[in-house]
């Protein structure tokens, strides 16, 4: 494509860096944009504006335009902090309106295979934060993967030593689903972790 | 269950064909290197998605062909199901009754196969890995969750080993905890399975050999003595991990866990690999396979299909007769490859179908 237009070729290469976008999708997106110059400008502007204005909150490390973010500066419950891996996990919990406390985004999970150790996560910042706050409970809401579980176990040990109440999100059968369609391993965990009615 | 029809297309050296099978013995005879074992391999693939010769797709796909297709019609208790397996350079695709299968659990169990082939003697003489692989496959044939657990354990193990290699082990503790739980789950399944199979093995060995030799199979894990209780095993494995921390830090790899365990076969109290003839070792493995069939039949109400590769070179005629009786009594469907048909004269069974295999062509023959 570079032989037709150098800038078009560069656009393709940039698009292909995005997750889930390959050669074909990149071409489709690029041609679509070419056909509507108005959209190109709007997209370009929003990209530049995101790059300029959006950064991580210095308190919770979620994405924000103001520092500290609306959640950290607003009148949320100070006594509970929910620890998640990524900003999108925080969005998911916010969407549920189930939680009125504050968050802490680790920016990843422990994974020796990818070279991610505790020092690369925002764990030191979390401990520093806890030292200066009224927090009594920490909810560990890392993913239920091998890596998320390791991160939760690691944090639980440290946090319990600080005398905090440490909880973990419940896991099991998805709401509104039929038990018959849930995979066997999940059903087994749900049976093991059943609660009294 | 019965595999009543098999179609293959561009699979190894086999010519495109559709074969109807009998419900009893199906015997493929022909000279060496004609394609007899390829038929068994295609059936094994339909049941397990794996080749028992550890072959990758490019070797399985016919010469200068793009893909191969294996189709089977399986009937179980009056229920007919069609399994299509497509092999191409990218991988394997399965369809059950014309529908693409997404979850392994929807596929496994439709055709359960048990294989006995000459190569399996490596289980007696080879490295522990071959015995672990056998055990894992055998457990998985009756327990789908075991596979999920196994994947999880391997993932934790890889992460933990990466951490040990990195030299910075300050965050080892959460990986120990997870490894102990996931590992103990595997071990508990394995110990339970071995306990069951050991009882049946003693029966089947006697049935096939007519001897009073005392055979046994047991689970070995160095100095660790596991029980059948999960929580107990978690504690033991966790304690063992703590105890071996120093050598692990030195060798930078995980030294304790189900990935290091072994299965020990004994005859009259002595290890099978040292103290027995090749014939005895063959009988042992064969009896183990029969025990596996019995366990599937009794505990899971599954009647598997048996694949016997090159059976006649394995056993003397009295033991073959015992084996055939064992299989006839249980009305098993059996697929056998052999270079001669003599041994089957032993056995006047109407439920016998003979096929000639020549240069990749399979055709039904009249009973010899």
Name the packing angle between helices B145-166 and A146-161 (round to 10°). 60
pLDDT score for B285: 92
Q: How far apart are CA B189 and CA B13, in angstroms?
A: 39
Burial-class residue B81 by CB neighbours within 10 Å (0-12, 13-18, 19+): middle
Show pLDDT as tens, one digit a residue, over chain A (197 residues). 556 788 888 999 999 999 999 999 999 999 999 888 888 889 999 999 999 999 999 999 999 998 899 999 988 998 999 999 999 999 999 999 999 999 999 999 999 999 999 999 999 999 999 998 889 999 999 999 999 999 999 999 999 999 999 999 988 888 888 888 888 888 888 888 888 88
Contact B174, A158 (CB under 8 A): no
Element spanning B146, H or E: helix B145-166
Q: Residue A148: closest CA among chain B residues belongs to which residue? A: B174
Between residues B144 and B349, the one the model is more confident about: B144
E strands, chain B, are 2-9, 17-20, 25-29, 67-76, 79-88, 91-96, 99-100, 113-116, 215-220, 262-267, 270-271, 305-308, 334-338, 352-358, 361-365
Distance from CA of A88 to the nearest CA of B (A): 24
More confident residue, B301 or B178: B178
Q: What is the pLDDT of residue B346?
A: 59
CA atoms of B368 and B366, how far apart (whole Å): 6
Cα of A190 to nearest chain B Cα, Å: 14
> Cα A65 vs. chain centroid, distance in angstroms?
17
B69: left (phi over 0), alpha (psi -120 to 50) or beta: beta
* Interface residue of A116, A146, A159, A192 to substitute, partner B, most B CBs within 10 Å: A146
Please write the tens of the pLDDT for every residue from B237-263: 999 999 998 999 999 999 999 999 999
Please tell me which residue, B105 or B326, carries the higher pLDDT value. Answer: B326
Are domains B1-112+303-367 and B128-301 of this chain identical in fold? no
Residue of A nearest to B163 (CA): A112
The one-character DSSP state at A174 is P
Contact B149 A149 (CB under 8 A): no
The CATH number of domain B1-112+303-367, selected from 3.40.50.300, 3.30.360.10, 3.40.50.700, 3.40.50.980? 3.40.50.300
Is the Cβ pair B168, A185 closer than 8 Å? no
Size of interface A-B (CB pairs under 8 A): 56
- Residues of A near B (Cβ–Cβ under 8 Å) read 110-113, 115, 117-118, 146-147, 149-154, 157, 183-185, 188
Q: Nearest 5°: CA angle at A24, between B102 and B86?
A: 35
Task: Look over chain B and give the mean of its residue pLDDT values, rounded to a whole number.
Answer: 89
> CA torsion sign, B317 to B322 to B328 to B333?
negative
DSSP B257: S
Pick A152 or B299 by higher pLDDT. Answer: A152
The 10 Å CB-count burial string (b at 16+, else e) for A10-36 is ebbeebeeeeeeeeeebeebbeebeee
What is the pLDDT confidence band of residue B368, given thresholds at 50, 70 and 90?
very low
Interface test with A, best of B171, B172, B185 (most A CBs within 10 A): B171
B174: nearest CB among A113, A153, A184: A153
ipTM of the complex: 0.73
Calculate how close chain B gets to A6, using CA atoms only, in Å. 34
Greater confidence, B366 or B244? Answer: B244
Nearest 5°: phi and psi at B138? Answer: -65, -40
pLDDT tens across B29-80, in order?
Answer: 888 888 999 999 999 999 988 888 878 888 889 888 889 999 999 999 889 9
Nearest residue of A to residue B156, measured between CA atoms: A146
For the segment B193-219, the average pLDDT, to the nearest whole number, is: 94
Arithmetic mean of pLDDT, B316-343 = 84
- Asked if A150 lies within 8 A of B168 by C-beta distance, the reply is no
Q: What is the DSSP string of B292-312?
A: HHHHHHHHH----EEEESS-T
Of B145, B152, B165, the CB nearest to A146: B152
**How many other C-beta atoms can be found within 10 angstroms of the C-beta atom of residue B13?**
14
**What is the CATH T-level fold of the domain B128-301, as seen in this structure?**
Glutathione S-transferase Yfyf (Class Pi); Chain A, domain 2 (1.20.1050)
Contacts with B103 from chain A: Cβ below 8 Å: 183
The whole-angstrom distance between B150's CA and the closest CA on chain A is 12
Question: Are the CB atoms for B258 and B190 separated by under 8 Å?
Answer: yes
**More confident position, B90 or B43:** B43
Backbone angles phi, psi at A82, to 5 degrees: -105, 120
Whether A136 and A80 have beta carbons less than 8 Å apart is answered as yes
Question: What does the CA dihedral B202, B205, B208, B213 come to, rounded to 10 degrees?
Answer: -100
Measured distance CA(B146)–CA(B108) in Å, rounded = 12
Edge-to-edge, what's the strand order for the sheet holding B361-365? B113-116, B305-308, B334-338, B25-29, B352-358, B361-365
The model's pTM is 0.81
How far is residue B341's CA from residue B354's CA, in Å, rounded to a whole number? 9
**Residue among A143, A137, A70 nearest A110 (CA):** A143
Distances (CA, A) of B39 to B26, B93, B335: 11, 19, 9
Tell if the CB–CB gap between A154 and B171 is shorter than 8 Å: yes
Asked whether B28 and B335 are in contact (CB, 8 A), the reply is: yes
From chain B, the residues in CB contact with A115 under 8 A are 166
Res B33: pLDDT: 85
Do the chains contact at B178 and A146, CB–CB below 8 Å? yes
Question: How confident is the model over A86-116, as pLDDT tens digits?
Answer: 999 999 999 999 999 999 999 999 999 999 9
Pick B159's closest partner by Cβ from A111, A157, A183.
Answer: A111
Q: Which residues contact B270 (CB under 8 A, 6 or more apart)?
A: B276
Instruction: Give the residue extent of every domain in chain B.
Output: 1-112+303-367, 128-301
Tell me how close the Cα of A114 comes to any Cα of chain B, in angstroms.
Answer: 9
Contacts of B160 in chain A (CB under 8 A): 112
Q: In chain B, which residues have their Cβ closer than 8 Å to the Cβ of A151?
A: 174
Task: Quote the Cα angle for A161-A162-A167, to 5°.
Answer: 80
> What's the confidence (pLDDT) of residue A56?
94
The shortest CB-CB distance from B171 to any of A117, A149, A152 is to A117
d(CA A71, CA B157): 38
Structure tokens at B228: 């059948």
């Amino acid at each position: 494509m570079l032989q037709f237009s150098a800038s078009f070729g560069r656009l393709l290469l940039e698009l292909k860096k995005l997750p889930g976008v390959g050669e074909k999708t990149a071409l489709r997106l690029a041609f679509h944009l070419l056909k509507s110059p108005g959209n190109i400008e709007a997209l370009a502007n929003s990209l530049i504006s995101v790059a300029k204005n959006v950064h991580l909150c210095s308190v919770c490390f979620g994405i924000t335009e103001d520092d500290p973010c609306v959640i950290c500066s607003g009148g949320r419950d100070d006594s509970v902090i929910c620890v998640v891996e990524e900003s999108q996990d925080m969005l998911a919990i916010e969407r549920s309106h189930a939680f009125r406390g504050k968050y802490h985004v680790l920016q990843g999970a422990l994974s020796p295979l990818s070279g991610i150790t505790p020092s690369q996560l925002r764990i030191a910042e979390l401990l520093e934060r806890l030292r200066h706050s009224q927090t009594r409970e920490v909810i560990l809401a890392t993913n239920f993967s091998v890596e998320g579980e390791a991160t939760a176990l690691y944090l639980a040990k440290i946090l319990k030593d600080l005398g905090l109440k440490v909880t973990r999100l419940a896991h099991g059968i998805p709401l509104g689903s039929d038990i018959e369609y849930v995979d066997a391993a999940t059903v087994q965990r749900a049976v093991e972790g059943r609660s009294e009615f | 269950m019965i595999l009543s029809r098999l179609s293959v297309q561009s699979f190894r050296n086999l010519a495109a064909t559709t074969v109807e099978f009998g419900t009893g013995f199906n015997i493929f005879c022909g000279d060496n290197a004609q394609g007899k074992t390829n038929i068994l391999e295609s059936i094994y693939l339909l049941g397990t998605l794996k080749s028992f010769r550890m072959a990758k797709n490019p070797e399985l796909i016919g010469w200068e062909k793009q893909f191969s297709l294996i189709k089977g019609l399986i009937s179980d208790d009056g229920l007919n199901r069609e399994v299509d397996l497509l092999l191409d350079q990218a991988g394997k695709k399965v369809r059950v009754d014309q529908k693409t299968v997404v979850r392994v659990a929807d596929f496994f169990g439709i055709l359960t196969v048990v294989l006995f082939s000459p190569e399996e003697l490596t289980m007696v003489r080879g490295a522990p890995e071959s015995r672990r692989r056998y055990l894992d496959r055998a457990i998985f044939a009756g327990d789908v969750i075991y596979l999920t657990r196994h994947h999880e354990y391997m993932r934790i193990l890889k992460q933990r080993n990466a951490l040990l290699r990195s030299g910075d082990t300050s965050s080892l503790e959460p990986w120990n905890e997870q490894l102990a739980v996931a590992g103990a789950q595997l071990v508990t399944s394995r110990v339970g399975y071995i306990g069951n199979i050991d009882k049946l093995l003693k029966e089947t060995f006697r049935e096939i050999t007519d001897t009073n030799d005392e055979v046994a199979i047991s689970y070995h894990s160095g100095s660790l003595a596991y029980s059948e209780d999960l929580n107990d095993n978690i504690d033991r494995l966790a304690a063992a991990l703590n105890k071996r921390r120093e050598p692990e830090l030195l060798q930078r790899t995980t030294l304790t866990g189900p990935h290091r365990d072994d299965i020990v076969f004994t005859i009259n109290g002595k290890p099978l690999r040292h103290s027995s003839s090749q014939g005895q070792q063959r009988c042992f493995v064969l009896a183990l396979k029969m025990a596996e069939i019995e366990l599937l039949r009794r505990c899971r109400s599954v009647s598997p299909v048996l694949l016997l590769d090159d059976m006649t070179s394995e056993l003397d005629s009295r033991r073959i007769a015992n084996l055939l009786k064992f299989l006839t009594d249980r009305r098993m469907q059996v697929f056998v490859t052999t270079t001669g048909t003599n041994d089957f004269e032993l056995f006047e069974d109407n439920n016998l179908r003979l096929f000639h295999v020549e240069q990749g062509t399979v055709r039904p023959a009249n009973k010899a």
